[in-house]
Amino acid sequence: MEKYYISTAIAYTSGKPHIGNVYEIILADAIARFKRFKGYDVYFQTGTDEHGEKIELKAKEANLTPQQFVDNIADEIRTIWDKMNTSYDRFVRTTDKNHEQQVQKIFKKLYDNGDIYLSKYKGLYCTPCESFFTENQLVDGKCPDCGREVKEAEEEAYFFKLSKYQDRLVEYIQNNPDFIQPESRKNEMINNFLKPGLQDLCVSRTSFTWGIPVDFDSKHVVYVWIDALTNYITNIGYDVDNSSEEFYKYWPADLHLVGKDIVRFHTIYWPIILMALDIPLPKKVFGHPWLLFGDDKMSKSKGNIIYADDLADEFGVDAVRYYTLHEMPFANDGAITYELLIERINSDLANVLGNLVNRTISMANKYFDGNVSNKFIVDEFDDELKSLVNELETEVTIKMDKLEVSSAIDKIFDVLRRSNKYIDETLPWVLAKEEDKKDRLETVIYNLLEAIRVAAVLLESFLPETSSKILAQLGISNKSAIYEENSKYLVNEPVPLFLRIDKEKKLEELKELI
Ligand code: MSP
């Protein structure tokens, strides 16, 4: 069985993740589920990034030890991932003992090989962002990321020789045109970072202690990126001296899924760390766009943060999954607002999907007591529907192979829309009035049930709960994604999948809640 290793970024345990962070795990989940459906041996890894000065400060504010603080948030993150029905295989934490040990060994190996050296770091430092900046990176003299004061700082630090590997990396990117996706991100990396030349990277700190100690120089802790990025290998058994079978089985990763803001770390720092360790590079890094609140970045200070678990409580998990997967474009940022979410639920989930399933199952019950099989009384409208159903898996696969998840979902909804149109064309309630059209009527209902079944099978990757609800209502377990000629249906009572929401009323209710 061919393997497929997919990872998400590991989320910072500095606070509760918002819907933007959760979008990433949902997206990864859809890809992982689809690969499983296609027969791959999938390994899907996610987790939390738990060290750093910011977390140390937050823990202090909360009157907790850093460990207690990250334990709480990591739990919360995992609970949200689970609530969103994501099927990860392993949830890793950078405070896992094995990870910490391996990071120390990796750091030492890079030092022994001469890729890491001791020097001094000078610059303007923003504490909340844990970043040094140069004078001209500042905006109005303040931190370009958060707008807060920066302070002059100098510290002894270890540096990693990125520059030594620059040419090899450029060559790799050129020889592997799919390595960085989408294309626009690749150009950004080449033009903004590689062409001007790489500066060596600061990889240790002495100004805080909440990190993995450098074991041969204990005033230093390993600074974020070597600690964070290596999660992708330490947790599948990489060991400097003796890696596990699992490591050789799953590495290199097939896909690192990350947000656009950290593409640089994954396509420049990470490949160079791997080159220095003499390990193969990941096959693909996909920098997904960001989910914005309307046109705005979500932030605590703007008070416009939306949390996935709140949305799931209000609208259901699959509505949230549908919205994020379908509304996020491939390369440009997407938007979420309560209005947009309600409109989508009403138009796509309640009208197109919910109605089709409900109408079809009701007719199967009303006209045939739920018992439906193919009577082969074919008419002009049938062929088009059948061939659309039969092409669906291929169409969805083509889109998913390009990671165009929103378009993959569109393909399924095209078939659902076509099925609704088929009802308008074939007019089952008219056929029902004529006794000699009974077999034609049964064939029509049969075709609809098959279209719904195949759509439900393919929806599993995106809306797992809805998919199984539909199959349960259809009373069938066959999960082939082709039109079968000889299925036997004994359908159950229809249960509405998604109710239409009264937008104005719901918005009023939400106002009170928020
Ligand atoms: N800890 C680092 C990643 C280290 S990976 C070795 C980090 N954590 S994060 O919690 O800030 O972000 C987690 C993921 O969520 C990142 O991929 C980030 O790009 C993504 N997103 C953060 N805000 C987002 C949106 N508004 N929309 C979509 N994704 C967003 O970065």
pLDDT in tens, the chain (514 residues): 999 999 999 999 999 999 999 999 999 999 999 999 999 999 999 999 999 999 999 999 999 999 999 999 999 999 999 999 999 999 999 999 999 999 999 999 999 999 999 999 888 988 887 777 878 788 899 998 889 999 998 889 999 999 999 999 999 999 999 999 999 999 999 999 998 999 899 999 998 999 999 999 999 999 989 999 999 999 999 999 999 999 999 999 999 999 999 999 999 999 999 999 999 999 999 999 999 988 888 887 788 889 999 999 999 999 999 999 999 888 889 999 999 999 999 999 999 999 999 999 999 999 999 999 999 999 999 999 999 999 999 999 999 999 999 999 999 999 999 999 999 999 999 999 999 999 999 999 999 999 999 999 999 999 999 999 999 999 999 999 999 999 999 999 999 999 999 999 999 998 877 6
CA atoms within 13 A on the CB side of 55: 28
Is ligand 1 within 6 A of the CB of residue 55? Answer: no
Ligand 1 atom closest to the Cα of residue 258 is 17
**Size of the chain in residues:** 514
Is ligand 1 within 6 A of the CB of residue 11? Answer: yes
Q: How far apart are CA 126 and CA 498, in angstroms?
A: 47
Is ligand 1 within 6 A of the CB of residue 259? Answer: yes
Is ligand 1 within 6 A of the CB of residue 318? Answer: no
Both tokens of 280, joined, read 């193969």
Q: Which pLDDT score, from 0 to 100, does residue 121 have?
A: 83
Is ligand 1 within 6 A of the CB of residue 123? Answer: no
Residue 216 Cα to ligand 1 midpoint, Å, equals: 32
Is ligand 1 within 6 A of the CB of residue 52? Answer: no
Which amino acid would we find at residue 166?
Q
Residue 27 Cα to ligand 1 midpoint, Å, equals: 13
Is ligand 1 within 6 A of the CB of residue 273? Answer: no
CATH 3.90.1150.10 fits domain 338-490: no
Best residue among 18, 24, 27, 145 to mutate for probing ligand 1, ranked by most atoms within 8 Å of CB:
24
Residue 290 Cα to ligand 1 midpoint, Å, equals: 9
Residue 172 Cα to ligand 1 midpoint, Å, equals: 25
Best residue among 22, 46, 49 to mutate for probing ligand 1, ranked by most atoms within 8 Å of CB:
49
CA-to-CA dists, residue 16 to 306, 309, 423, angstroms:
11, 11, 46
Best residue among 13, 106, 262, 306 to mutate for probing ligand 1, ranked by most atoms within 8 Å of CB:
262
DSSP secondary structure letter of residue 435: G
Q: Do 7 and 253 touch, CB atoms closer than 8 A?
A: yes
Is ligand 1 within 6 A of the CB of residue 253? Answer: no
Q: How far apart are CA 141 and CA 311, in angstroms?
A: 38
Is ligand 1 within 6 A of the CB of residue 270? Answer: no
Q: Do 200 and 275 touch, CB atoms closer than 8 A?
A: no
Which amino acid would we find at residue 171?
E
Strands 151-160 and 116-126, by their bridges, are antiparallel
Beta strands in 151-253 (DSSP E): 151-160, 180-181, 201-202, 204-205, 221-222
Atom 5 of ligand 1, nearest CA residue: 9
Atom 6 of ligand 1, nearest CA residue: 229
197: left (phi over 0), alpha (psi -120 to 50) or beta: left
Ligand 1 atom closest to the Cα of residue 297 is 26
Is ligand 1 within 6 A of the CB of residue 12? Answer: yes
CA atoms within 13 A on the CB side of 375: 15
